[in-house]
């Protein structure tokens, strides 16, 4: 079986807090400019593909978003996601060293203090017929997996819930994930051969700070898709009202009772148990660690999963703080956000990882993934091309499915096979770059082509210089 291509798109909340009451407010657009100042950029926009195969850009609402490279397994995807977090953390530190009147905060969260919501979109390459139609039992699984994959947090009333973002979700499927916020986006953008593949985009999930939580979410979901594509139906697990069940699961946790379309009912953890049991019976993949997690929750030992499940880890932290300071203390909501803050001086995640209280991938692997793409997918081709074009200061164009050298102009190379990690056309093009002198380019053309930073760290935009 060819490994399934998976990836993540993670939106980050960006806030600019003044150092004192005399400092003027910083507009979101200004904050994002400060965050990206001194970094390479293409066409004067904060939108670029990276040598590690991923993409860093500014999404609607002036907040940064990082999309991982295509990955053949969940661990690589979790590693690439952490690499994006590390890139943004370094950008944040550089910005705060420059700024005098404000301090920027980047939060890998799905809701902020104003209850604005930020997405974490999961992408799974599937057979085109898998979505026509999608097994309703798969939607039930997505609801139930909340008990392992949710990020945890306080809702608008201050109550602790598994997923504050869940209450922003009101449709199962929609082609407009920005305005309608469905569980699943139905936009037909396969980023692969459209005759054979579709891209299943799960848009309701939570970002997680625990690397194991991220890996488990992707691996388990991919395994359930293997089960369905292998011919096993989950239709008997279809929910009567998936959105109501999602909200109930977030409010009541593993014990939430979910009404089935057939007329029965099942708890969230028991529904997840059933799905995992069918995967085990089919012998698709080893899920021993996930089976152990389900058994612990069913046995009343869920707190032992704190390092691997974000909502449990955060719940214990907030409960400890409430016991010490009182549940109405203003430090509680600040702690709720500090769990997601990338600022190493104020955020909690790095400290939790360092102490062993939160699972983490080896830091040297994360640092390597900042500049190195996965070796067994199309990202290896894209990443090598970008690295060489950047080193040789060549103008180029890339997308998820093509590369093109623009200086000197060469025909576009389409790359529709996401599992392809070698291509003689790309190798030949890189050789051409290395052996052909670059044509002269004006400073303006270089800036438009994204060769070098738009302006250097510590400098303002060109129009603002004396």
Q: How confident is the model at residue 458 (pLDDT cuts 50, 70, 90)?
A: very low
Ranges 108-122, 256-270, 438-452: which has the least confidence: 438-452
> What pLDDT was estimated at residue 450?
64
DSSP 93: H
Q: How confident is the model at residue 116 (pLDDT cuts 50, 70, 90)?
A: confident
> What pLDDT was estimated at residue 40?
65
Tokens of 261: 């379309």
Flag whether pLDDT at 156 surpasses 50.
yes
Flag whether pLDDT at 412 surpasses 70.
yes
Distance CA(360)–CA(366), nearest Å, equals 10
- pLDDT tens-digit profile of 159-176? 999 999 999 999 999 988
Flag whether pLDDT at 417 surpasses 80.
yes
- pLDDT tens-digit profile of 264-309? 999 999 999 999 999 999 998 789 999 999 999 999 999 999 999 9
| Mean pLDDT, range 173-202, rounded to an integer | 92
CA distances to 229, 247, 384 from 156, in Å:
39, 14, 46
Ranges 71-80, 106-115, 125-134: which has the least confidence: 106-115
Flag whether pLDDT at 178 surpasses 60.
yes
Distance CA(429)–CA(440), nearest Å, equals 19
Average pLDDT, the chain: 91
Flag whether pLDDT at 463 surpasses 50.
no
Strand partners, 182: 171
CA distances to 414, 450, 454 from 62, in Å:
31, 20, 18
Q: Nearest to residue 204, comparing CAs of 171, 234, 228, 237? A: 171
> What pLDDT was estimated at residue 354?
95
- pLDDT tens-digit profile of 43-56? 345 678 999 999 99
DSSP 61: T
Neighbours of 255 (CB within 10 A): 13
> What pLDDT was estimated at residue 449?
64
> What pLDDT was estimated at residue 448?
64
H-helix or E-strand spanning residue 171: strand 171-174
Residues with a catalytic annotation lie at: 59
In residues, how long is the chain?
466
* Helices 268-282 & 211-229 angle (0-180, nearest 10): 60
| Mean pLDDT, range 167-192, rounded to an integer | 90
In the chain, what percentage of residues exceed pLDDT 90?
79
Contacts 24+ apart (CB under 8 A), 265-269: 266/237, 268/143, 268/144, 268/146, 268/147, 269/144, 269/147, 269/294, 269/297, 269/298
Ranges 58-62, 103-107, 196-200, 269-273: which has the least confidence: 58-62
> What pLDDT was estimated at residue 32?
93
> What pLDDT was estimated at residue 66?
97
Burial pattern 395-415, b for ≥16 Cβ within 10 A else e, equals bbbbebbebbbebeebeebeb
| Mean pLDDT, range 176-185, rounded to an integer | 86
Ranges 76-80, 113-117, 328-332, 449-453: which has the least confidence: 449-453
> What pLDDT was estimated at residue 117?
84
Distance CA(225)–CA(137), nearest Å, equals 11
Distance CA(264)–CA(271), nearest Å, equals 12
> What pLDDT was estimated at residue 457?
37
């Amino acid at each position: 079986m060819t490994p399934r291509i998976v990836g993540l798109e993670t939106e980050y909340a960006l806030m600019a807090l003044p150092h004192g009451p005399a400092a003027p407010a910083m507009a979101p657009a200004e904050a994002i400019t400060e965050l990206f100042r001194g970094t390479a950029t293409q066409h004067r926009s904060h939108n670029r593909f990276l040598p590690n195969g991923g993409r860093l850009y500014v999404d609607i609402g002036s907040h940064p978003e990082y999309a991982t490279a295509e990955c053949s397994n969940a661990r690589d995807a979790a590693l690439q996601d952490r690499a994006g977090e590390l890139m943004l953390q370094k950008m944040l530190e550089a910005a705060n060293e420059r700024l005098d009147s404000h301090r920027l905060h980047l939060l890998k969260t799905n809701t902020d203090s104003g209850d604005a919501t930020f997405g974490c979109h999961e992408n799974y390459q599937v057979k085109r017929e898998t979505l026509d139609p999608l097994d309703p039992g798969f939607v039930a699984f997505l609801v139930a997996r909340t008990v392992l994959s949710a990020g945890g947090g306080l809702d608008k009333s201050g109550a602790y819930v598994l997923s504050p973002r869940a209450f922003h979700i009101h449709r199962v499927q929609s082609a407009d994930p920005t305005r309608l916020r469905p569980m699943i986006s139905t936009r037909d953008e396969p980023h692969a051969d459209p005759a054979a593949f579709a891209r299943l985009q799960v848009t309701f999930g939570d970002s997680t700070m625990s690397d194991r939580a991220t890996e488990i979410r992707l691996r388990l979901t991919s395994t359930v898709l293997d089960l369905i594509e292998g011919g096993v139906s989950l239709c008997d697990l279809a929910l009567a009202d998936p959105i109501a069940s999602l909200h109930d699961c977030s409010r009541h946790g593993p014990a939430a009772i979910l009404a089935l379309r057939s007329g029965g009912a099942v708890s969230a953890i028991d529904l997840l148990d059933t799905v995992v049991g069918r995967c085990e019976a089919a012998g698709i993949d080893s899920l021993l660690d996930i089976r152990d997690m389900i058994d612990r929750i069913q046995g009343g030992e869920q707190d032992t999963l704190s390092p691997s499940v974000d909502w449990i880890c955060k719940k214990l932290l907030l409960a400890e703080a409430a016991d010490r300071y009182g549940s109405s203390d203003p430090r509680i909501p600040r702690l709720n956000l500090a769990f997601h803050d990338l600022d190493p001086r104020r955020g909690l995640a790095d400290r939790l990882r360092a102490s062993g209280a939160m699972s983490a991938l080896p830091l040297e692997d994360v640092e390597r993934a900042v500049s190195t793409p996965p070796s067994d997918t199309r990202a290896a081709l894209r990443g090598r091309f970008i690295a060489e074009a950047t080193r040789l200061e060549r103008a180029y164009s890339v997308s998820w499915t093509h590369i093109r050298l623009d200086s000197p102009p060469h025909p576009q190379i389409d790359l529709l096979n996401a599992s392809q990690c070698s291509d003689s056309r790309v190798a030949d093009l890189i050789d051409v770059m290395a052996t052909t002198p670059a044509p002269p380019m004006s400073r303006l053309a270089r800036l438009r082509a994204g060769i070098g930073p738009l302006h250097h760290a510590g400098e303002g935009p060109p129009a603002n210089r004396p």
